[in-house]
Amino acid sequence: MSPEWKRRVMLFIQRFWQPTSACMTCMPGSWGNIMSLAHWVVAFHTGVLTGLLAVLLTFTPAAKLYAHRYGNALIVGLLTTAGDAYSHASHYHIPYVEHILTGAISGLLTLAASYLFEDRARRVRAAWARVFE
């Protein structure tokens, strides 16, 4: 597999777990329904759609935004909002609030992951070493 496609596969995996986690967090009753198959199916659809949209963007000039921490978080937040809106109707009383909230949380997860996991998770390894030494 070429390095470019390896990067796209990794991008898909990253863009899958962040929206799925955000979707599970933002749906009403999320923590009470954590074992609900229907709940997971909706979150899974949001994650897959967002991951596919993220990979499709790698073929456009917008792929340059992935190189920057905040641009990456913005793109992921917007793609998650679109993926969540397409995957299911809002469960909140005000239309689109759930989708926007899911996108915002996904963007924040992306930003947090960029700080934690950069440089082969240097910050996580340093914290682990401080705690267990």
pLDDT at 85: 87
Nearest CA to 102 out of 86, 80, 87, 73 is that of 80
Q: Are 54 and 15 in contact (CB under 8 A)?
A: yes
Give the residue, 101 or 27, on which the prediction is more confident: 101
* Crossing angle for the helix pair 69-87 and 37-57, to the nearest 10 degrees: 130
For the residues 96-101, what does the mean pLDDT come to? 87
Task: Give the C-alpha separation, 13 to 75, whole Å.
Answer: 15
pLDDT at 70: 93
Q: Give residue limits of the domains in the chain.
A: 3-131
pLDDT at 30: 61
Average pLDDT of every residue of the chain: 85
| pLDDT 10s digits, 17-36 | 888 888 887 777 666 777 78
Give the residue, 89 or 76, on which the prediction is more confident: 76
Two structure tokens written together for 50: 């967002």
| pLDDT score of 16 more than 70 | yes
| pLDDT score of 45 more than 90 | no
**Entry pTM:** 0.78
Q: Are 101 and 23 in contact (CB under 8 A)?
A: no
